[in-house]
Amino acid sequence: MDRSTSRFQPFEINEIMLSPSSLDDSAVRSSVTSSSSSTDRLPLIQQRSLFRSLSGFVRRRRALTDSGEEPASPVRRLTTFSGVFAPVCLSMFSAILFLRLGYAVGQAGFLLTLGLFAVAYAIVTSTVFSICAISTNGAVEGGGAYYMISRALGPEFGGGIGILFFLANICSGALYVAGTVETLVNAFGKGGTYSLGLPGGGAGGTDWYSFLYGVVICLFNTCVCVVGASMFAYMSAFILAVVGVSAFVSFISFFIENHGMNITIPDSNHIAAGRNETLAWYTGISSATFHENLLPNWDVDYNIPSLTFVTAPMVFAVLFNGVTGIMSGANVAGELKNPARAIPLGTLSALATTAVVYGTLVLMIALTCSNDLLKNNYTFLQGINVWPPIVVIGVLAATLSAAMTNLMGASRVLLALARDNLFGVILRPFERTTASGNPIPAVLLSFLLMSLVLLIGSVNAIASVTSIFFLLSYFGNNLACLALELAAAPNWRPKYRFFSWHTALFGMIGCGVMMFIVSPIVTAVAFVVCLLLMVGLHIWSPDVNWGSISQALIFHQVRKYLLMLDIRKEHVKYWRPQMLLLVSNMEGVENLVDFVNDLKKGGLYVIGHVQEGSFDAFESDPLADDHPRWLEYIDRLKVKAFIELTMARTIREGIHHLVHLSGLGGMKPNTVILGFPRARMPPTLSFSSEPSSPSPELKPPCLSSEEYVMILRDILRMRKNIIIARNFRTFEKRPLLRCKTVNIDVWPLDFMKPQQVDNYDTPTLFLLQLATILQMTSQWRKKANLRVFLCHRQHTDNILRRVKTLNVLLNQLRIKGKVTPVIWDDAMQHIDRATSGGSVFAGYNGENVLSDLDPYALPEGYLSDVQRLLRFHSQSSALTFLYMPTPPLDMTKAEAYLNFLDTITALPSPAVLGK
């Protein structure tokens, strides 16, 4: 939903059908009850946008009319019977019903054939439950499995599965065309039942005549599909009646022809011809024949030239193509009158009908046909039929209609992919349709690809590839429903009551296991292709917002783990910086934002912004329009950060908001980073900024020294670490890291309290930790040398012992740093003169004399020499980490405190004060 509808409005919505066709003006006007006294109502077009989003409807990439309305959708003509039941039944019967049931029983036996059918039906039934769940959860458009998966799992996963589902329909259509060709050649070719001298019929069906017949059949189907969905609907109903009559006549023929007879082996069986076998035996109903066909009896497939022995996975691949038509109704969902009702009812009815027909025919075949007949003549039903031509008519009708169904389904999937603009200009030509919504370019491309697949050869050779593609698309469909169920999204409430996460999980596991059983190599290739498509779509980053399930799952898991993240169990050894960077505006702070991104070490990173003003002066939230701009900003910088914006009467109050409320649970900032407020510091690093479009109510902030120091004290009182960053406007990381080595300097000394030179307190350890974290990042690891400076007097300090002590500390903390002793007699002589009237006192660190030194009464010469010392040793360093003195309680000393910070941070390179 867009921003205007991101807050759920309490509309009184009447019960209506959740389909795009029902979402017209009159429906919305009647379903959205408006009140004349209410001022919190959205315009009608925004109400419709919210309503469609909640119902699951996703607007296609179409131009709007001048009135702001969408163009009229194609007319929905198809009913449950014509649009779902008939196409599903025809796709499932197809070539398997008349051409491959005998092959399955002859090779795998009656029991295993029923078992394989049971596995196939269990998989597709659970998948149908998932399809019914999605189709009754909201609006369903054309595209079948692609539309359902993409709207649930997002464009990347949906686009990858969509392409594979498109190819599955192409391969399936080619398989049915190959079945049609096989029937034509066996019936009317040389040596056929009704031989007309038709050329073709080579072993495996790979000769050029068979390919030419297939292309002609594909062209005929294309012409029918070009006419449109209504023509297809009328034909499918008529063809289903023809197939039903053929199946019924074949069934009663087992009882009428209940006696032994010889059946001729077709000439295309070159294996039997090599053994001089021309006849096989039909026994009629016989217990001996049933016993012969009860268990597997593996042999070679005479339609495959390689003479490979048939296996159970090969039989399953063929049989599974007899149950892959369950998406035929969903593929044309955009042309169904009521898809939410038609898809579940029509698909399940077709599933039950085909199961009964398959089971009955398998039983009769096992009872009446010898095993030799079943292995050597796949068209034996013609020879035992009371009227043999009815079988040829049934096969041609079933295979032609199934191929036509797949051709139409493939074109609709391609149309949906093109309209969604996931692949850019590559598929853009295929989004064009006629005035009635018929995708002519998509139909023509599907025809071309289907013709090319025919070059693979026989029905059984194409079956394995087709089964893998369909299993993968079913896998994705079940995965989508399982993810929706586990995410517990409030808007996931399908009306179909038989669906549960158990059925989705069973279907997903079943599809995955059977894919690898059928063909591990083809499965691996299919997964790799799908993965490459997903990666490509992720890089392409299509500009769509379909409510990806990944966001719902991430929310579900993040919430669970945030509740498990107990702040009472925190330990210092697992401490990591969680940064809150206070930024005024986006200009000139890119270097600092990138630096903090390196410094966070996998911790929380929040960029906070305060606008000074009164919220009561605005009719709506003045920060709402700024938030997307900040998100685009961090996307452009490629940093992993969150954005927090707030408005307050003062900058100090706004920073309180950010420090207290940023983060969630155990993921809250522990370190606040801000800029230096002096004139030398770019104004963009102060706490707040002039807004992008300033209004009289929003004044640019101007912080005094007292306000700045009070903010520092507030942050410390809130038990947060502080980092003050300076000189980052000129900090260029990339040119710097091209050097062979760079130095990161740490001065672990409070220069405001020189008597505490060896006081390795918490701020010192904090500085060392930050420098080490920066040194550990991938970009700095091979370049950065950490130098820790130790200030000492030339003649009075035991420098060797102090260096050893600091090295032991660094070693215990596993910090790879080099201790560098630095003589600072020039600075300390000013302290000595100020405290002793000009004499230099002995004693380790002078602590017996300097303990009462006022840090705000330091001699001017001391500060100048400290600055000179820092500049001399750190002038070539990439970064300098400095100890931040404690801010004063007395605000009359705020100016002196900031003058001190200004002096020690006036370096040529970026300086970081930490406490």
Contact by Cβ (8 Å): 476, 161:
yes
In this structure, how many other beta carbons lie within 10 angstroms of the beta carbon of residue 639?
Answer: 18
CA distance 358 to 318: 14
Strands of 227-284 (E only): list them: 261-264, 279-282
Contact by Cβ (8 Å): 885, 759:
no
Please tell me whether residues 343 and 223 are part of one structural domain: yes
Over residues 720-749, mean pLDDT: 86
95 falls in which pLDDT band (50, 70, 90)? confident
- Is the alpha carbon torsion for 19, 20, 22, 23 positive or negative? positive
CA distance 377 to 302: 9
376 falls in which pLDDT band (50, 70, 90)? confident
Over residues 262-269, mean pLDDT: 81
pLDDT the model gives residue 132: 86
Beta strands 279-282 and 261-264: pairing type? antiparallel
Closest of 662, 645, 657 to residue 698, by C-alpha: 645
Give whole-number Cα distances, 499 to 19, 268, 496, 556, in Å.
Answer: 20, 47, 6, 21
Say if residue 470's pLDDT is above 60.
yes
Over residues 164-185, mean pLDDT: 86
Give whole-number Cα distances, 619 to 48, 504, 613, 805, in Å.
Answer: 24, 48, 13, 63
Give whole-number Cα distances, 128 to 326, 493, 494, 501, 502, in Å.
Answer: 7, 17, 13, 13, 13
Please tell me whether residues 456 and 530 are part of one structural domain: yes
What is the C-alpha radius of gyration for the chain, rounded to an integer number of angstroms? 39
CA distance 656 to 284: 91
Residue 7 burial (C-beta neighbours within 10 Å; 0-12, 13-18, 19+): exposed
Q: What residues pair up with 333 in beta bridges, in sequence order? A: none
**Residue 453 in tokens:** 């697949």
Look at residue 617 and tell me if it is in a domain.
yes
CA distance 204 to 210: 10
- In single-letter form, the type of residue at position 892 comes to T
pLDDT the model gives residue 191: 61
CATH number at residue 120: 1.20.1740.10
- What is the DSSP track for 839-898? PPP-SGGGHHHHTT--GGG--HHHHHHHHHHHHHHHTT-SEEEEEPPPPPSSGGGHHHHH
28 falls in which pLDDT band (50, 70, 90)? very low
**pLDDT tens digits for 651-686?**
999 999 999 999 888 889 999 999 887 543 433 333
pLDDT the model gives residue 104: 94
Contact by Cβ (8 Å): 461, 311:
no
Give whole-number Cα distances, 110 to 113, 178, 372, in Å.
Answer: 5, 26, 14
Contact by Cβ (8 Å): 647, 615:
yes
Say if residue 16's pLDDT is above 60.
no
67 falls in which pLDDT band (50, 70, 90)? very low
Say if residue 550's pLDDT is above 80.
no
Say if residue 844's pLDDT is above 60.
no
More confident residue, 305 or 624: 624
CA distance 131 to 504: 10
pLDDT the model gives residue 687: 38
Q: Per the structure, how many domains does the chain have? A: 3
Please tell me whether residues 621 and 741 are part of one structural domain: no
Look at residue 181 and tell me if it is in a domain.
yes
Look at residue 841 and tell me if it is in a domain.
no
Give whole-number Cα distances, 633 to 582, 584, 590, 621, in Å.
Answer: 15, 13, 9, 20
Look at residue 30 and tell me if it is in a domain.
no
857 falls in which pLDDT band (50, 70, 90)? confident
Contact by Cβ (8 Å): 578, 670:
yes
Say if residue 694's pLDDT is above 70.
no
Say if residue 805's pLDDT is above 50.
yes
Over residues 709-719, mean pLDDT: 93
CATH number at residue 899: 3.40.50.620
Please tell me whether residues 339 and 387 are part of one structural domain: yes
Please tell me whether residues 737 and 727 are part of one structural domain: no
Residue 230 burial (C-beta neighbours within 10 Å; 0-12, 13-18, 19+): middle
CA distance 778 to 535: 24
Contact by Cβ (8 Å): 340, 17:
yes
pLDDT the model gives residue 11: 35
Contact by Cβ (8 Å): 514, 312:
no
| 450 Cβ neighbours under 8 A, 6+ residues apart | 170, 173, 174, 177, 218, 403, 406, 407, 410
Contact by Cβ (8 Å): 797, 845:
yes
Beta strands 279-282 and 911-914: pairing type? unpaired
**Residue 671 in tokens:** 């370190």
**pLDDT tens digits for 195-245?**
656 666 544 444 678 888 889 999 988 888 887 656 666 677 788 889 899
Say if residue 52's pLDDT is above 70.
no
Beta strands 579-582 and 671-675: pairing type? parallel
Average confidence score pLDDT of the chain? 80
Look at residue 622 and tell me if it is in a domain.
yes
pLDDT the model gives residue 231: 64
Please tell me whether residues 534 and 607 are part of one structural domain: no
> Mean pLDDT: which of 320-324, 559-563, 712-716 is highest?
712-716
Give the rounded percent of residues in the chain with a pLDDT score beyond 90. Answer: 23
Say if residue 447's pLDDT is above 90.
yes
User: b/e map of 434-473 (b: 16 or more CB within 10 Å)?
Assistant: eeebbbbbbbebbbebbbebbebbbbbbbbbbbbbbbbbb
**Which of 261-270, 392-401, 593-602, 820-829 has the least mean pLDDT?**
261-270
Please tell me whether residues 725 and 741 are part of one structural domain: no
Please tell me whether residues 759 and 647 are part of one structural domain: no
Say if residue 1's pLDDT is above 80.
no
Please tell me whether residues 114 and 165 are part of one structural domain: yes
- Is the alpha carbon torsion for 553, 557, 558, 560 positive or negative? positive
**Residue 680 in tokens:** 């030398």
Helix (H) and strand (E) counts in the chain = 33, 12
Helix H, strand E, coil C: the string for 732-773 is CHHHHHCCCCEEEEEECCCCCCHHHCCCCCHHHHHHHHHHHH
Give the rounded percent of residues in the chain with a pLDDT score beyond 70. Answer: 81
H or E segment and range at residue 577: none
Please tell me whether residues 246 and 264 are part of one structural domain: yes
Closest of 113, 112, 83, 117 to residue 321, by C-alpha: 117
688 falls in which pLDDT band (50, 70, 90)? very low
> Mean pLDDT: which of 8-17, 312-321, 618-627 is highest?
312-321
Contact by Cβ (8 Å): 378, 303:
yes
- What is the DSSP track for 184-237? HHHHHBTT-TT---B----GGG-SHHHHHHHHHHHHHHHHHHHH-HHHHHHHHH
Look at residue 784 and tell me if it is in a domain.
yes
Domain range holding 719? 573-679+701-731
pLDDT the model gives residue 504: 93
CA distance 896 to 754: 17
**pLDDT tens digits for 290-336?**
999 999 999 988 877 666 789 999 999 889 988 887 877 776 676 78
pLDDT the model gives residue 718: 93
Say if residue 135's pLDDT is above 80.
no
**pLDDT tens digits for 867-893?**
999 999 988 888 999 999 999 998 989
Say if residue 841's pLDDT is above 70.
no
pLDDT the model gives residue 541: 62
Closest of 710, 630, 619 to residue 897, by C-alpha: 710
274 falls in which pLDDT band (50, 70, 90)? low
**Which of 25-39, 330-344, 773-787, 870-884 has the least mean pLDDT?**
25-39
Please tell me whether residues 420 and 436 are part of one structural domain: yes
Look at residue 36 and tell me if it is in a domain.
no
Chosen domain end from 540, 557, 590 = 540
107 falls in which pLDDT band (50, 70, 90)? very high
pLDDT the model gives residue 689: 34
Beta strands 671-675 and 721-726: pairing type? parallel
pLDDT the model gives residue 39: 39
Look at residue 551 and tell me if it is in a domain.
no
End-to-end Cα distance, the chain: 44
Say if residue 110's pLDDT is above 50.
yes
- In single-letter form, the type of residue at position 617 comes to A
Question: If DSSP codes are grouped into helix, strand and coil, which group holds residue 337?
Answer: coil
Residue 103 burial (C-beta neighbours within 10 Å; 0-12, 13-18, 19+): buried
pLDDT the model gives residue 362: 95
pTM of structure: 0.67
Q: What residues pair up with 128 in beta bridges, in sequence order? A: none
H or E segment and range at residue 422: none
> Mean pLDDT: which of 141-150, 351-360, 436-445 is highest?
351-360
H or E segment and range at residue 696: none
140 falls in which pLDDT band (50, 70, 90)? low
Closest of 179, 641, 632 to residue 379, by C-alpha: 179
63 falls in which pLDDT band (50, 70, 90)? very low
Please tell me whether residues 780 and 828 are part of one structural domain: yes
Say if residue 286's pLDDT is above 70.
yes
